[in-house]
Amino acid sequence: MPMTVERAPVLAWIALGANLGDAVASVHAAIRALAALPQTTVWRVSSLYRSAPVQASGPDFINAVVAVLTRLTAPDLLAQLQQLEDRAGRLRPYPNAPRTLDLDLLCYGQSTVRSAALTLPHPRLFERAFVLRPLAEISPERVSAAALQAVASQVIERLP
């Protein structure tokens, strides 16, 4: 009988955002859904933040960042995230359209990936206050003061 080798868990960071419908409820539901993913445990969850759309129109976004420990591969985790978006009614009528749920895989351990389907770390990670502020809250070692300063002009508010 062949032995199966269990993968060591990897720490991955996921950005969450929504700006259609009850965005706060959508983000909370997505956090619960992440906790229910196979071979995945939620490790840390940031506060919720409100931010204006970046390079887009529509209502303000509700954002957060979640760190998970997962045994899923990066492509498998991405596939799970896309399924959660689909179940939340995510449509993609045009780039940067308002959305019921947006889940972005920011980092997967120390991995660097460049493929048609996935780029890690996320290519716009350091351009967005709505990602850097919540990421700095839960993993301050991953965000430099210079990175936060570079996005300081972007409007973002931590929710109570």
Of 92, 112, 94, nearest to 102 by C-alpha is: 92
Q: How would you class 155 by CB atoms within 10 Å of its CB: exposed for 0-12, middle for 13-18, buried for 19 or more?
A: exposed
Assess whether 102 carries a catalytic annotation: yes
The catalytic position among 7, 86, 92, 99 is 99
d(CA 121, CA 119): 6
29, two tokens: 């539901």
The catalytic position among 7, 32, 76, 102 is 102
Q: What is the DSSP string of 25-54?
A: HHHHHHHHHHHTSTTEEEEEEPPPEEE--S
Main-chain phi, psi angles of 29, to 5 degrees: -65, -40
Assess whether 90 carries a catalytic annotation: yes
The catalytic position among 7, 22, 104, 133 is 104
The catalytic position among 90, 114, 128, 133 is 90
**Residue 44 corresponds to which amino acid?**
R
Assess whether 104 carries a catalytic annotation: yes
Assess whether 60 carries a catalytic annotation: no
Active-site residues, by number, are 90, 99, 102, 104
